[in-house]
Amino acid sequence: MTFRVEGVTKRFGPTVALDGVDIELLPGEIHALCGGNGSGKSTLIKTITGVEIADSGTFSIGETVAPASEATPAQAHEWGIRCLHQQGSTFGSLTVTENLAAGVGFPKAFGGRIDWRAARKHSRELLAEFDIDAGPDQLLEELRPVTRQMVAIARVLQDQDDSNGGILILDEPTASLSAADVDRLHAAVVRFAERGTMVMYVTHRLGDLPGFASRATVLRDGRVVGQLGASEIRHDRLVEMIVGVSEEELLSAASSHVIDASVLDERLVLTDLVGGPVKGASLSVGSGEIVGVAGLVGAGRSSLLEMVLGVQEPESGSIELDGEPLKWRAGKPHDAVALVPENRVLDAAFLPLSLTENIVATTTGRCWRKGFLHHRAERTQVRQIISDNGIKAASEEALFQTLSGGNQQKAIVARCLRGNPDVLLLDEPTQGVDFAARAAIHETIRMAAAEGLCVLVVSSDLEELVLMCNRVVVLVEGRTTETVSGSDLTPENLERLGFGTEVLSV
């Protein structure tokens, strides 16, 4: 029995997330799925598990063929497809038994009460079967991260009736694990594969794959760009395929707006900053300069911005603006710093309030004269901002939640700039934003920088960094490693450097 994905295509509006993807899983193989951020890995997994509906293509298992556009979670489950998602799949404050029962239910005794004896027996059997070093009554939060991960795997696999088959999809299972734990997890995955389970293994940690994966498929821009056999899986080869930028593109993408760093007065200076996932970051931003921060998810990019903003306390190191240290103010953001957060809905938008109220959120006091907020003056100013930034809305009084994502994002950038900050921090500023809005936001930021603002941008979109930034600092596992500028500033270089540790560890 093999599992085939053929010609699967998925569009989100004008964006093609998956473009005729073909993948074949053989029994007993560990098939690595690689690609950069936004290459379509997650979308592919979602279509296979029936969470997202593909536009066209087919799935087949053995002789059974089904159109991908009709896949459902129930059908995926029936076919033995089990997926362990990246985060949030275990309950720390519950016991191993309770975690294992989540999703499949508890064995019941008379009157519908839970038969705890049977439940414990069942979980003891599972723990033995999956060779997990834990007791049925232990709380998940007491266990090592790798053991927790194993419990999660056991949970998704426990009800596969046929233990000699089935498909296990692991999405970044090692993201939070140490090197030794990674080996332990891999040993377990190899055991599943030996029993005949088809494993699809998604990871950013390319250094883990040689000697472990039996095949690798690389995605880029929603297309399969190549497949490697076990002997061909090497770190450098994978990076080349993932980045895959042609020579011409590299030349044309090279940044044209190089600023001579020696002329700049350094305004924002970070020295050996440590805090949370950030383990030692040093960088400086000059007046009018746009500096990018590249690195993998989890490298500490967002924490870095939060420390500069003043909402996360640095453990050590310093942040200075114009020679003055930005002192910790018990979590209150610094007045001179503004942030466009990564998660617009959770961290930036006041959805039930009006567009006006959202734009003036940080500058309400400006129209407060003689004891009154002058609503008319406020609206007039906001109308100007709306037209300057090309924000599309029914009126300045429209509720923020009625605006499209791109227009919300423009409004939030406008809000930050209205406060006349000295430092503008951008975390994934154009994530989920359409092409036109993205270009408009870039232009707004460039114009603001031209007036002397310091801009620090975090983005997984490496082309965006190349387009916007004068320099890009690479963050690897919480440390700043390299600074790239001028003709070296290419998506390929950034990607290569972002995978930095793996290069060293191989």
Partner 1 sequence: MSESAESGPNTAEDMPADGAALTGSREKSKGRMSAAIEAYTLLFLALLVAVLFSELPATSGVFPTAANFQAIAGGQAVLIVATLAVLIPLICDEFDLSVGANLGLASVVSASVMAAGLPLIVAVIAGLVSGGVVGVVNGLLVTRVGVNAVIVTLGVSVIIHGIVQYKTGGKSITEGLPDSWLSVGSESIFGIPVILLIALVIAAIVYYLLTYTPYGRQLYMMGANRQAAKLVGLRTNWLLFSCFVVGGLLAGFAGVLQVARAGAAAPSVGETFTLPAFAAAFLSAAAIKPGRYNVWGSVVAISFLAVINGGLNIAGASVYIADFVNGTALIAGVALAVFLRRRRGA
Among 332, 432, 486, 505, binds partner 1 (CB under 8 A): 332
Nearer to partner 1, 215 or 418 (CB): 418
Rg (CA), the chain: 25
In sequence order, the β-bridge partners of residue 338 are: 424
Q: Please state the closest distance from residue 421 (CB atom) to partner 1, in A.
A: 10
Q: Which one of 88, 111, 211, 365 is in contact with partner 1 (CB under 8 A)?
A: 365
The span of 66-74, 263-271, 329-337, 472-480 binding partner 1 (CB under 8 A) equals: 329-337
| Token pair recorded at residue 67 | 């159109």
Q: Tell me the C-alpha distance between 133 and 137, whole Å.
A: 12
CA 498 to CA 474: how far, in whole Å?
A: 6
In the complex, least distance from residue 371 CB atom to partner 1, rounded to whole angstroms: 8
Stretch of residues binding partner 1 (CB under 8 A), selected from 11-19, 69-77, 320-328, 340-348: 340-348
Nearest to 388 by CA among 417, 365, 426, 362: 417
Whose Cβ is closer to partner 1: residue 21's or residue 412's?
412
Would you count residue 361 as binding partner 1 (CB under 8 A)? Answer: yes
DSSP secondary structure code for residue 149 in this structure: H
- C-beta closer to partner 1: residue 216 or 417: 417
Residue type, 28: G
Nearer to partner 1, 427 or 464 (CB): 427
From residue 287, alpha-carbon distances to 15, 344, 394 in Å are: 36, 27, 37
Range 89-128, binding partner 1 (CB under 8 A): none
User: Quick check: 393 and 409 in contact, CB under 8 A?
Assistant: no
Residue 448 C-beta: closest distance to partner 1, Å: 18
Q: Site for partner 1 (CB under 8 A): which residue of 93, 112, 352, 387? A: 352
Binding mask 367-386 toward partner 1 (x if CB under 8 A, else -) reads -x--xxx-------------
CB of 362 to partner 1, least distance (A): 5
Among the candidate windows 4-12, 113-121, 214-222, 361-369, which touches partner 1 by CB under 8 A? 361-369
For position 187 contacting partner 1 by CB under 8 A, the verdict is no
* Distance, first Cα to last Cα, the chain: 34
Helices (H), 419-478: 435-450, 462-468
Residue 143 or 393 having the CB closest to partner 1:
393
From 301, 292, 235, 286, select the one nearest 479 (Cα to Cα).
Answer: 301
Q: Mask of contacts with partner 1, 261-300, x by CB under 8 A? A: ----------------------------------------
3-state secondary structure of 119: helix
d(CA 227, CA 348): 41
The residue among 134 and 348 lying less far from partner 1, judged by its C-beta, is: 348
**What is the C-alpha to C-alpha distance for residues 53 and 10, in angstroms, rounded to an integer?**
8
The C-alpha atoms of residue 214 and residue 199 are separated, in whole angstroms, by 10
Task: Give me the least distance between CB of 352 and partner 1, in Å please.
Answer: 5
Instruction: Give the three-class secondary structure for 9.
Output: strand
Residues of this chain, 395-434, that bind partner 1 according to CB under 8 A = 395, 397-399, 401-404, 407, 415
Strand duo 324-325 + 316-321: pairing: antiparallel
CA distances from 481 to 54, 293, 307, 318 (A): 40, 11, 19, 18
Number of residues that bind partner 1 (CB under 8 A): 38
Alpha carbons 364 and 396: distance in angstroms, whole number: 15
- CB closer to partner 1 out of 84 and 348: 348
* Minimum distance from residue 65 beta carbon to partner 1 (Å): 38
List of residues contacting partner 1 (CB under 8 A): 309, 311, 331-333, 335, 339, 341, 346-353, 357, 361-362, 364-365, 368, 371-373, 392-395, 397-399, 401-404, 407, 415
